[in-house]
């Protein structure tokens, strides 16, 4: 049985590794990059707590010693379901079963100006581009005397108050406190401004009210100015236009205000739902097909009574869907009854600063903040999600940077964006 998996994120890698060493399956994982990486640590790459090599693994190394797994580099261009073939920019592959695990891309809400000029945080290249900008702006501000120019250079605006936006704003607050003011002697205490723009009345709508309020207060303590019930409408000539009519002069817009799946050429339009996610059944099979599956952020299953609007687009859903589909492939080969996907919610958590986090388990009514939540994040979420990486190397460098603040921000030289 030849299984092709398109996408090397949490879902795709978990599925592939779960089928390793099973000679019934020939598994080919396809990805446009030659490496897998750990998205929750992108902000730590930007802030130089990690280098890119410390949060990534080459697929060839990941699959080494697993004879039934192989990697093919390429970007998906088209599916021909009737011929069981996929067309890549690097060649054509034939499959018995196809699994789409391509994740999502940044949704710029139709604003071409924002798409061209804002920073997104979906890839290592995105993280490094923002890191380069931070370095360049901090160095330029030390030499710049024009007040308006300084204002535009040293004002950072994060659009989106979900988990990604909060993590980005907290990261910028940490850098402002620990790095930028020391690196840029021309800045006063409030010379570097950070804004977090949220369209809803609260930050982190999926979190309990207590954790929402704690996060707001924590960001404000880091010097982040939070604007609620507001969204970014456009970015024109170095001015960010808000829904309130206010404008912010800034060259630095970090866009975390939404994602969408990428439509795939060869699949019918009627299989797409909200956010261009692909409708699947409870076994993750794409509706209207017999041998095409979708797992992770790209899929939308609405048959679950617990998640009638679809499962949350988080790493644990992707990992568990990969595990469940691997079991089902094994049961298919043994002609056994398949198992429906049932999500086991491990709770939500996110990093909000150095040794700071929030964590919540609704079913147990447990809410944690601070260092205890940070440890829970490491043990319950981070550690299991890094099973296929060199987690001990990541843990060593992460703890070293967090405890001793050993950032290389001012030592590194990059080509500015």
Inter-residue contact 71 to 31 (CB < 8 Å)? yes
- The whole-number average pLDDT for the span 174-192 is 59
- The whole-number average pLDDT for the span 173-201 is 72
Q: pTM for this one? A: 0.91
Which one, of 8, 22, 2, lies nearest residue 72 by Cα?
Answer: 8
Print burial letters for 320-349: b (CB count within 10 Å at least 16), e (below 16).
bbbbbbbebbeeeeeeeeeeebebebbbbb
Q: How much of the chain is in helix, strand and coil states, percent to nearest 5?
A: 35, 25, 40
Please list the residue range(s) of the chain that carry CATH number 3.50.50.60.
2-104+261-333
Q: Are strands 348-353 and 299-300 parallel, antiparallel or unpaired?
A: unpaired
**DSSP letter (8 states) at residue 20:** T
Residue 386 reports pLDDT greater than 80? no
Residue 391 reports pLDDT greater than 70? no
H or E stretch covering 372:
helix 370-376
Q: Which three-class secondary structure state does DSSP give residue 176?
A: helix
Q: For residues 385 and 316, give the distance between their C-alpha atoms in angstroms, rounded to a whole number.
A: 8
- Cα of 258 vs its chain's centroid, Å: 11
Please list the residue range(s) of the chain that carry CATH number 3.50.50.100.
107-257
223-282 confidence digits (pLDDT tens):
999 999 999 999 999 999 999 999 999 989 999 998 999 999 999 999 999 999 999 999
- The whole-number average pLDDT for the span 188-207 is 86
| Per-residue pLDDT band at 411 (split at 50, 70, 90) | very low
Q: Does domain 2-104+261-333 have CATH number 3.20.20.70?
A: no
**CB atoms closer than 10 angstroms to residue 251:** 19
Tokens representing residue 348 in the block: 């939500």
- Indicate the CATH number of 107-257 among 3.40.640.10, 1.10.10.60, 3.50.50.100, 2.40.110.10: 3.50.50.100
Least confident of 125-129, 137-141, 197-201, 210-214: 137-141
Q: For residues 239 and 89, give the distance between their C-alpha atoms in angstroms, rounded to a whole number.
A: 38
Per-residue confidence (pLDDT) for residue 135, from 0 to 100: 83
Which one, of 409, 316, 290, lies nearest residue 49 by Cα?
Answer: 409
CA distances from 199 to 121, 309, 310, 314 (A): 19, 21, 22, 21
Inter-residue contact 47 to 4 (CB < 8 Å)? no
Q: DSSP H helical segments within 121-279, as ranges? A: 124-141, 147-153, 163-175, 181-183, 209-221
CA distances from 189 to 154, 156, 180, 184 (A): 12, 15, 10, 11
Residue 91 reports pLDDT greater than 80? yes
């Amino acid at each position: 049985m030849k299984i092709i998996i398109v996408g090397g994120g949490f879902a795709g890698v978990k599925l592939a590794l779960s089928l390793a060493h099973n000679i019934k399956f020939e598994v080919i994982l396809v990805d446009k990059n030659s490496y897998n990486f750990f998205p929750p640590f992108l902000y730590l790459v930007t802030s130089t707590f990690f280098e890119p090599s410390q949060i990534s693994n080459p697929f060839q190394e990941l699959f080494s010693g697993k004879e039934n797994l192989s990697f093919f580099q390429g970007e998906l261009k088209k599916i021909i379901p009737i011929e069981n073939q996929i067309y890549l920019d690097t060649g054509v592959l034939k499959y018995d079963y196809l699994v789409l695990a391509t994740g999502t891309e940044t949704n710029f809400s139709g604003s071409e100006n924002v798409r061209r000029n804002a920073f997104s945080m979906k890839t290592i290249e995105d993280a490094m581009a923002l890191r380069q900008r931070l370095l360049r702006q901090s160095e330029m501000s030390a030499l710049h005397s024009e007040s308006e120019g300084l204002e535009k250079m040293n004002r950072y605006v994060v659009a989106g108050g979900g988990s990604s936006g909060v993590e980005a704003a907290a990261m910028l607050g940490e850098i402002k406190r620990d790095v930028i003011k020391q690196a840029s002697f021309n800045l006063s205490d409030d010379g570097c401004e950070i804004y977090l723009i949220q369209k809803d009345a609260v930050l982190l709508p999926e979190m309990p009210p207590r954790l929402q309020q704690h996060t707001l207060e924590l960001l404000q303590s880091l010097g982040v100015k939070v604007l609620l019930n507001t969204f970014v409408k456009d970015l024109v000539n170095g001015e960010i236009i808000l829904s309130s009519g206010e404008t912010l002069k800034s060259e630095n817009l970090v866009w975390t205000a939404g994602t969408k799946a990428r439509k795939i050429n060869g699949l019918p339009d009627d299989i797409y739902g909200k956010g261009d996610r692909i409708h699947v059944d409870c076994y993750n099979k794409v509706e209207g097909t017999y041998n095409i599956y979708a797992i992770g952020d790209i899929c939308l299953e609405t048959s679950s009574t617990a998640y009638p609007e679809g499962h949350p687009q988080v790493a644990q859903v992707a990992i568990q869907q990969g595990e469940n589909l691997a079991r089902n492939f094994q049961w298919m080969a043994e002609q056994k009854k398949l198992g429906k996907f049932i999500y086991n919610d491990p709770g939500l958590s996110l990093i909000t600063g150095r040794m700071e986090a929030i964590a919540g388990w609704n079913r147990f009514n447990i809410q944690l903040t601070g260092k205890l939540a940070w440890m829970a994040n490491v043990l319950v979420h981070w550690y299991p999600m890094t099973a296929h990486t060199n987690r001990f190397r990541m843990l060593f460098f992460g703890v070293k940077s967090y405890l001793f603040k050993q950032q290389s921000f001012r030592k590194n030289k990059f080509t500015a964006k």
